[in-house]
A and B are shown apart, each in its own frame.
Chain A
Amino acid sequence: MATVGRALLIIAFAVALYGLGASLYGAFAGGRAWVDSGRRAVYALAGVLTLAFAVMEAAFLRSDFSFSVVASHSSTTTPTFYKATAAWSSQEGSLLLWVWLLSIWSSLALALTRRRVREVAPVATAVLMTFGAFFLMLTVFWANPFQTLAQPPSEGTGLNPLLRHPAMMFHPPMLYSGYTLFSIPFAFAIGALVTRRLNAEWIVSTRRFALAAWLCLGIGIVLGARWSYTELGWGGYWAWDPVENASLLPWLTGTAFIHSIMIQERRGMLKVWNASLVLATGTLAILGTFLVRSGILDSIHAFGASTLGVPFLILIGAMVLGSVALVVWRRADLRSEHQLDSLLSREAVFLLQNVVLVALAFIVWWGTFFPLISEIFTGTKASVGPPWFDKYIVPLAFVIVALSGIGPLVPWRRLTLASVRRGFVIPLAAALVTWGALLLVPGAWAQPKPAAFAGVVAFVLASVVQELWRGMRARQASARESAPVALAGVMRRNRRRYGGYVIHAGFAVLLLGVAISSSFQHAKDVSLTPGQSTRVDGFDIKYVRATASATAEKISLGAVLDVSKGGKQVATLRTTRGFYPSQDVTQGIVGRFFGGESESQVGLRAGFGRDIWTVINPNLTPLAGIIDQGNRTFARAMTGIVRGGASQQALTELYALRDQAIAAVAHRFVSNPWPADFRFIVSPLATWIWIGAIITFLGGLLALWPAPAAARRRVTAGYAARVARELARTTQ
């Protein structure tokens, strides 16, 4: 099967090269048949890569250790769900996933636009096929997922225990979907610049893909944060790690792009800005893919140094130079049709929001690459930590949230006193009441920023509710419908607008959770033995009893903890630390079962008011003596069996005895417990981070969902009229 997979990759590489050549030839020699053939090559690529991906998945599910990638990332004891998803935990598998998703999304985009943007699409196809050919070249020549082993092992090394979490298994496909979907507006922007079709048509044709990219990337980022919170054992969800930042960069510029294209669609402004933003976003998506594979920055979860850095740098360099050259070359065609009428207009708010988002992206980029920058200028690698990021990001995030509430209230072109009275009174009142009420809480004056931020969030929520209310009332008045039907109707007819409002509300709630949980968090590291208690933020936490279990997969040592407040029981927490076996034979026959990777199972009591979070870190030092004794005993027994001819029955009996011994050693943690280290964290409103994320993504889905046919017809008619106007202008 590995041969079939390898052959499919080579065929896919050839198809991508053909699609690239056919599209370019068709675009510049004017052959429609070649253009159609190039587009069909993309469909064929998706088909071939689907088969190749299926071959790899089948190998993982069958635990076929003749595949090198399966032997090093899966095992027979890996649960089936994680076997299926282990494919993208490897460098090779993740590259194949990337190019497979690219082929799927590219096929969808080209199928949906086949009767539109006919001049732009062939060049866009060539750009997409260039990406496809690049990633296939990597999998064919550098990181072959179908590499085989001359002597397959009887067992694989298993999936990294830290990755055995549902969020982490869906995190890469969502991130890669985001990256690959952003390459679609990037490709069409290149096509528009090359062919000088710089009206809003390419934006209208690809904006849904930009929104889908933003949504998928956002879901991927949140899944990564959730994994960090519930799996990594440090209690945080964001560490400003280079790999986290790599996914945030295109998300920030993508957010700016999604907003600023509305100005180009409505008023024909910001064409240079939009082209630059989408080109930067596409490049940053590739940069994100490169960062985790290059090893150029120290990160908690880089794939490590590899030979892929140079080809990626060449691609990124070509993208940057090509993008700049194209924008400069076409600057005359990218002139705005209108000027900003007033600094107090929706266009101005969007522009300011864009500037802040780009500033955020620049800060994140600078902080991420600072080790390289400082090495270039000072000869010494230096890094900036979370406090440096927080210093800049927090105030700008404050501004972004405020603008997300102000934007919908400000009319296009110019803000009047009447529109201020109509739009701002209720949200401002909500903000002031919230802020004032929170300042009355004892101790609030000591930390006024969270109260002020809560006021801004109240402003955003009130502005969204007000807009929904007004839309509903207007529809009720015209259609005489009940309130719920009218609300659903108005949201259904203008999904992009109201989806956007829901996103604003969800994002404000998410950031409120971040602000409050990080400002008022109580954390304590403490060593306890069963029966002992500690107090964290008014909660009494008692270590009730130790737990231990030994399975074929891992040895788990843990604790049951009782949480109470004022004598009333609040929750029972269970946390464990799993120790996975090592293949290092020098650790001994028994010792290696305690000496491999370890991972935490967090004890979490999530609530609307606060989360109570804990992990255990059992100290294995007290077991060292008995483990050494076990190592010596079993080494002697093993030597005896080998000398006696190593019969299978004797070995089986010895393994059974060893398993009993391991279980007995682990049981010591329960029968003779010694102090274990715990971390306890009480975080107010932490759950609202995830609730806010869910609201945001529901809003994203609403905005993404196709509009009803009647509304679409109206929009299409308006759009056709606009294109006709632009064509008339350009042909004059």
Chain B
Amino acid sequence: MNPSRKRRIRLVAALTAALLAASALVYTSFSAGSDEQTASQLLDGAVAGRTYTLAGTVKDHSVTRSGGVVWFSVLDPHKPVAVRVRYTGIVPDPFREGRGVMVQVRRQGDLFVGEKDSMVTKCPSKFQVAPPRSSSSPAASIT
């Protein structure tokens, strides 16, 4: 076979394979992708049993713990609306009230149940601490 024709056939075959692989990638990402929703979007249209990515801010004074279960409310970034989330397991270290979070949830009535280990908490670029306790700042080790 003519070498240039051979090269052209190879190129077409390689490009076809790449196109097919890319199509599979696009298809699976759209079918496996979890919709990122705000609290108000979830309250308006979340279907029971389907997984959503809830994004928002942890509402002040909403975090309670009982055994290994953490309850908290996630605020919509644009509206004064929040949804209550029940989350089981260890939460990320930066998790706290006022912090941005993303968590995979499923609807159960008015409640949303977080999937274990699905929570991402935004790490703050700055954080606020109090002034030192006193000028002498005793380091009382009481262990």
A363 touches B140 (CB 8 A): no
Inter-chain CA distance A275–B120, complex, in Å, is 38
Is A2 interfacial (CB 8 A cutoff)? no
Would you list which residues of chain A between 369 and 412 have a CB under 8 Å from chain B?
370-371, 374, 378, 380-385, 387-388, 391-392
B133 touches A303 (CB 8 A): no
Beta-carbon nearest neighbor of B99 in chain A: A597
Inter-chain CA distance A584–B129, complex, in Å, is 8
B21 interface neighbour in A160, A234, A359, Cβ under 8 Å:
A359
Is A730 interfacial (CB 8 A cutoff)? no
Inter-chain CA distance A667–B29, complex, in Å, is 51
Contacts of B89 in A (CB 8 A): 525, 679
A301 touches B123 (CB 8 A): yes
A550 interface neighbour in B33, B53, B65, B140, Cβ under 8 Å:
B140
Beta-carbon nearest neighbor of B6 in chain A: A339
Contacts of A300 in B (CB 8 A): 92, 94, 120-123
Contacts of A381 in B (CB 8 A): 35-36, 55
Q: Smallest distance from the beta carbon of A722 to chain B beta carbons, Å? A: 25
Contacts of A205 in B (CB 8 A): none
Interface of B is mostly: loop
B128 touches A583 (CB 8 A): yes
Query: Chain B 73-93, CB within 8 Å of chain A: the 1/0 string?
Result: 000000000000000111111
Most buried by A among B33, B35, B104: B33
Inter-chain CA distance A383–B34, complex, in Å, is 5
B129 interface neighbour in A241, A359, A583, A599, Cβ under 8 Å:
A583
Beta-carbon nearest neighbor of A72 in chain B: B126
Given A658-B133, A659-B138, answer yes or no on A677-B90 (Cβ-Cβ < 8 Å): yes
Inter-chain CA distance A341–B139, complex, in Å, is 73
Q: Smallest distance from the beta carbon of A45 to chain B beta carbons, Å? A: 28
Query: Chain A 660-673, CB within 8 Å of chain B: the 1/0 string?
Result: 10110011001000
A551 interface neighbour in B37, B92, B136, B139, Cβ under 8 Å:
B139
Of the listed stretches A469-477, A502-510, A614-622, name the one at the interface; the rest are far from the partner chain: A614-622
Contacts of A382 in B (CB 8 A): 30, 33-36, 53
Given A525-B90, A596-B128, answer yes or no on A621-B133 (Cβ-Cβ < 8 Å): no
Query: Chain B 59-70, CB within 8 Å of chain A: the 1/0 string?
Result: 000001101100
Is B142 interfacial (CB 8 A cutoff)? yes
Contacts of B36 in A (CB 8 A): 298, 371, 380-383
Q: Smallest distance from the beta carbon of B5 to chain A beta carbons, Å? A: 13
Beta-carbon nearest neighbor of B60 in chain A: A586
Is A366 interfacial (CB 8 A cutoff)? yes
Given A234-B92, A300-B123, answer yes or no on A549-B142 (Cβ-Cβ < 8 Å): yes
Given A157-B129, A385-B104, answer yes or no on A232-B141 (Cβ-Cβ < 8 Å): no
Inter-chain CA distance A652–B133, complex, in Å, is 10
B126 touches A384 (CB 8 A): no
Inter-chain CA distance A301–B123, complex, in Å, is 5
Contacts of B132 in A (CB 8 A): 75-77, 155, 552
Contacts of B37 in A (CB 8 A): 380
Inter-chain CA distance A584–B131, complex, in Å, is 11
A552 touches B137 (CB 8 A): yes
Is A162 interfacial (CB 8 A cutoff)? yes
Inter-chain CA distance A526–B69, complex, in Å, is 11
Contacts of B2 in A (CB 8 A): none
Is A253 interfacial (CB 8 A cutoff)? no
Is B1 interfacial (CB 8 A cutoff)? no
B140 touches A157 (CB 8 A): no
Beta-carbon nearest neighbor of B7 in chain A: A339
Is B48 interfacial (CB 8 A cutoff)? no
A527 touches B67 (CB 8 A): yes
Inter-chain CA distance A217–B24, complex, in Å, is 30
Query: Chain B 93-115, CB within 8 Å of chain A: the 1/0 string?
Result: 11010001010100000000000
Tell me the count of chain A residues lying within 8 A, CB to CB, of chain B: 87
Q: Smallest distance from the beta carbon of B132 to chain A beta carbons, Å? A: 6
Query: Chain A 200-241, CB within 8 Å of chain B: the 1/0 string?
Result: 000000000000000000000000000000011110000101
Query: Chain B 15-56, CB within 8 Å of chain A: the 1/0 string?
Result: 000000110011011101111110000000000000001010
Contacts of A299 in B (CB 8 A): 120, 122
A550 touches B142 (CB 8 A): yes
Inter-chain CA distance A234–B91, complex, in Å, is 8
Q: Smallest distance from the beta carbon of B56 to chain A beta carbons, Å? A: 11
Inter-chain CA distance A73–B125, complex, in Å, is 9
Q: Smallest distance from the beta carbon of B119 to chain A beta carbons, Å? A: 9
Beta-carbon nearest neighbor of B139 in chain A: A551
B32 touches A388 (CB 8 A): yes
Inter-chain CA distance A424–B137, complex, in Å, is 68
Q: Smallest distance from the beta carbon of B14 to chain A beta carbons, Å? A: 8
A363 touches B25 (CB 8 A): yes
A617 touches B142 (CB 8 A): no
Given A157-B128, A552-B139, A658-B133, answer yes or no on A597-B96 (Cβ-Cβ < 8 Å): yes
A302 touches B122 (CB 8 A): yes
Contacts of B143 in A (CB 8 A): 547-549, 670
Inter-chain CA distance A488–B117, complex, in Å, is 48
Contacts of B65 in A (CB 8 A): 619, 621
A385 touches B34 (CB 8 A): yes
Is A600 interfacial (CB 8 A cutoff)? yes
B93 touches A298 (CB 8 A): no
A655 touches B133 (CB 8 A): yes
Beta-carbon nearest neighbor of B53 in chain A: A383
Inter-chain CA distance A388–B32, complex, in Å, is 7
B133 touches A582 (CB 8 A): no
Is A581 interfacial (CB 8 A cutoff)? yes
Q: Smallest distance from the beta carbon of A154 to chain B beta carbons, Å? A: 7
A656 touches B134 (CB 8 A): yes
Inter-chain CA distance A600–B94, complex, in Å, is 10
Beta-carbon nearest neighbor of A525 in chain B: B89
Inter-chain CA distance A549–B3, complex, in Å, is 77
Is A434 interfacial (CB 8 A cutoff)? no
Contacts of B141 in A (CB 8 A): 549-551
B93 interface neighbour in A155, A551, A598, A652, Cβ under 8 Å:
A598
Is A605 interfacial (CB 8 A cutoff)? no
B32 interface neighbour in A72, A387, A675, Cβ under 8 Å:
A387
A366 touches B25 (CB 8 A): yes
Inter-chain CA distance A509–B137, complex, in Å, is 48
Contacts of A90 in B (CB 8 A): 125
Q: Smallest distance from the beta carbon of A679 to chain B beta carbons, Å? A: 5
Is A367 interfacial (CB 8 A cutoff)? yes
Inter-chain CA distance A155–B22, complex, in Å, is 54
Inter-chain CA distance A662–B64, complex, in Å, is 22
Beta-carbon nearest neighbor of B32 in chain A: A388
A525 touches B130 (CB 8 A): no
Beta-carbon nearest neighbor of B124 in chain A: A160
Q: Can you list 13 A-B pairs, Cβ within 8 angstroms, ordered by A?
A: A89-B125, A298-B100, A304-B125, A378-B30, A381-B55, A385-B104, A392-B25, A525-B90, A550-B140, A552-B137, A583-B131, A659-B134, A677-B90
Given contacts A233-B92, A548-B142, 19 further A-B pairs with CB under 8 A are A75-B132, A157-B129, A160-B125, A162-B123, A231-B93, A232-B92, A362-B25, A374-B33, A380-B37, A382-B34, A385-B118, A388-B33, A547-B143, A582-B128, A615-B90, A655-B135, A658-B133, A659-B140, A677-B68
Residues of A within 8 A of B (CB): 72-73, 75-77, 89-91, 154-155, 157-158, 160-162, 231-234, 239, 241, 298-304, 339, 359, 362-363, 366-367, 370-371, 374, 378, 380-385, 387-388, 391-392, 525-527, 547-552, 580-584, 592-593, 596-600, 615, 617, 619, 621, 652, 655-656, 658-660, 662-663, 666-667, 670, 675, 677, 679
Instruction: List 6 tightest A-B contacts by C-beta distance, closest first.
Output: A655-B134, A382-B33, A552-B137, A381-B36, A583-B128, A301-B123
